[in-house]
């Protein structure tokens, strides 16, 4: 019933009986309960699906990160070497140490990952189980060697692959020499007198390499091995040794091969080894334009792979025929090496304008840090750092080194052996 007033239409309701009202209320309650139950069921099913999906996503994330660590770092290799040297550690302690090591890796990685994420425990578990599996494989190989048994072709292949992976593993050194720091290394003059040979053609000043700043300068191989990180090349690719054959691997290129192998297989870096013969012109040996040609070649590599952060020009020196640059490391006859710096400066006329090097301090600092670490871990392995007048393509980057590995009087085996401690020094200075 409606009634018209000046304020509009007012609805008028007839009075209903109590029984009728009660039935309406009961129906309303039933409808509400049904709606609530339906909503709760739907919500419960939805939440369960969300939790399952979230759990699955966390598992996938954990698996993915664990795989990345296994493929792109030397964590497992270093961790297993550590455990091998500390066999009495309890299982729970092993896991705690692994957690610390992996967390540190993630913190330094270019990727971000929340270690409070529940999937993080999954990452540790995957890595830990991988470590145990690797140890079990290694033990089986030892048992197979001790007790000859018949094996299938498949098992033989697995063992051969394992041995192949371990072929490039270099023992990590302990401190066996003097550890130099800014507190005990001495003055600039003392450092030059102790560690350097400066030719009469050039000069090096304290302002070129302030010792404290040089020792504290941070160097790092950036990125991960999904993209190239290190470039090895040879301005003088035809340099050979006392017993070099027609095989390219017995020349300085063979030293580059061995260095690249260790940096890849033991330390997990992505390495490009440029074997271009920059000192061959029209089919003949010609070193007059070798540095010009190699600089152009390296620039092309850097343009193609801007992720490269360490550039190594590997040479061998030329010495008097009676000179033998040999030491012994890990029971092997090993060629001594030398870090080479160019000042782009003549002693009399000053800086060479057409050979400017904006990274002179970084080059010198890196060479000093490599030398100091060598004195600590491999005393007798390195010769005095050599400083000469020209630029030697060291302006190509802040992390750029020219390294002389042995000389023509060394055997190529001695030179290739030198790649092993050299790789460890690179890892210590630029990777730790």
Tokens of 162: 């394992």
- Indicate if the pLDDT at residue 80 is higher than 80: no
Q: Among 343, 417, 329, 416, which Cα is nearest to 374's? A: 329
Pick the range with the lowest mean pLDDT from 107-116, 134-143, 193-202, 344-353.
134-143
Mean pLDDT across the stretch 121-132? 68
Q: Spell out the residues 6+ positions from residue 320 whose beta carbon is closer than 8 angstroms to its own.
A: none
| pLDDT tens for each residue of 44-73 | 665 655 555 555 555 555 565 665 565 555
Which superfamily, per CATH, for 188-430? Answer: Zn-dependent exopeptidases (3.40.630.40)
Integer Cα distance of 149 and 153 in angstroms = 13
Other CB atoms within a 10 A radius of the CB of residue 2 amount to: 8
> Residue 146: its pLDDT value, please?
43
Mean pLDDT across the stretch 250-262? 98
Q: From residue 383, give the alpha-carbon distance in Å to each of 217, 296, 339.
A: 22, 30, 8
Q: From residue 420, give the alpha-carbon distance in Å to each of 21, 167, 312, 329.
A: 94, 12, 15, 9
> Residue 5: its pLDDT value, please?
42
| pLDDT tens for each residue of 140-152 | 443 444 444 444 4
| pLDDT tens for each residue of 153-177 | 445 555 554 444 445 589 999 999 9
> Residue 345: its pLDDT value, please?
98
Measured at the alpha carbon of residue 264, what is the angle toward residues 260 and 269, in degrees to the nearest 5? Answer: 110
Residue 52's Cα: distance from chain center in Å?
36
Enumerate the domain spans of the chain. 2-51, 54-166, 188-430
- Indicate if the pLDDT at residue 408 is higher than 90: yes
Q: From residue 170, give the alpha-carbon distance in Å to each of 177, 231, 322.
A: 19, 21, 31
> Residue 276: its pLDDT value, please?
98
- Taking each helix axis from N to C end, the angle separating 91-108 and 119-146, rounded to the nearest 10 degrees, works out to 120
Integer Cα distance of 238 and 138 in angstroms = 40
Q: How confident is the model at residue 93 (pLDDT cuts 50, 70, 90)?
A: confident
Tokens of 21: 């009202």
Contact 221, 229 (CB under 8 A): yes
| pLDDT > 70 fraction of the chain, expressed in percent and rounded | 65
- Indicate if the pLDDT at residue 431 is higher than 90: yes
Using a 10 angstrom Cβ sphere, with 0-12 exposed, 13-18 middle and 19 or more buried, the burial of residue 119 is buried
Pick the range with the lowest mean pLDDT from 81-85, 145-149, 217-221, 316-320.
145-149
What is the dihedral sign for C-alpha 43, 45, 48, 52? Answer: negative
Integer Cα distance of 414 and 342 in angstroms = 26
> Residue 150: its pLDDT value, please?
43
Integer Cα distance of 247 and 253 in angstroms = 10
Q: How confident is the model at residue 117 (pLDDT cuts 50, 70, 90)?
A: low
Comparing 216 with 96, the larger pLDDT belongs to: 216
For the chain, the average pLDDT equals 82
């Amino acid at each position: 019933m409606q009634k018209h007033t000046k304020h509009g239409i007012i609805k008028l309701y007839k009075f209903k009986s109590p029984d009728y009202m009660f039935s309406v209320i009961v129906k309303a309650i039933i409808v509400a309960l049904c709606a609530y139950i339906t909503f709760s069921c739907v919500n419960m099913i939805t939440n369960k699906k969300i939790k399952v999906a979230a759990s699955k996503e966390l598992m996938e994330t954990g698996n993915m990160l664990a795989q990345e660590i296994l493929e792109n770092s030397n964590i497992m290799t270093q961790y297993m070497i550590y455990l091998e040297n500390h066999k009495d550690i309890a299982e729970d302690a092993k896991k705690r140490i692994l957690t610390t090591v992996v967390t540190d890796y993630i913190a330094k990685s270019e990727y971000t990952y929340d270690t409070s994420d529940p999937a993080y425990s999954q990452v540790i578990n995957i890595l830990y189980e991988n470590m145990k599996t690797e140890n079990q494989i290694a033990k089986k190989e030892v048992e197979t060697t001790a007790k000859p048994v018949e094996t299938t072709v498949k098992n033989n292949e697995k063992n051969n692959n394992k041995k192949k992976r371990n072929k490039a593993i270099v023992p990590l050194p302990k401190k066996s020499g003097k550890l130099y720091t800014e507190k005990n290394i001495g003055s600039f003059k003392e450092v030059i007198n102790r560690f350097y040979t400066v030719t009469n053609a050039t000069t090096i000043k304290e302002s070129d390499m302030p010792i404290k700043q040089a020792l504290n300068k941070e160097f790092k191989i950036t990125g991960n091995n999904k993209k190239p990180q290190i470039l090895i090349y040879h301005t003088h690719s035809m340099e050979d040794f006392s017993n070099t054959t027609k095989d390219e691997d017995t020349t300085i290129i063979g030293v580059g091969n061995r260095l690249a192998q260790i940096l890849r297989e033991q330390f997990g870096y992505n390495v490009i080894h440029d074997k271009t013969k920059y000192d061959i012109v029209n089919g003949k040996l010609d070193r007059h334009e070798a540095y010009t040609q190699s600089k152009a070649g390296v620039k092309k590599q850097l343009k193609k792979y801007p992720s490269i952060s360490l550039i190594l020009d590997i040479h061998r020196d030329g010495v008097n025929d009676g000179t033998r640059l040999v030491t012994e490391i890990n029971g092997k006859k090993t060629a001594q090496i030398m870090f080479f710096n160019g000042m782009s400066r003549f002693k009399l006329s000053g800086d060479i304008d057409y050979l400017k090097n904006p990274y002179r301090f970084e080059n010198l600092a890196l060479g000093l840090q490599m030398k100091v670490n060598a004195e600590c871990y491999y005393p007798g392995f390195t010769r005095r750092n050599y400083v000469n007048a020209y630029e030697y393509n060291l302006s190509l980057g802040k992390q750029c080194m020219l390294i002389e590995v042995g000389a023509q009087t060394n055997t190529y085996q001695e030179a290739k052996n030198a790649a092993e401690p050299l790789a460890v020094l690179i890892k210590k200075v630029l990777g730790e």
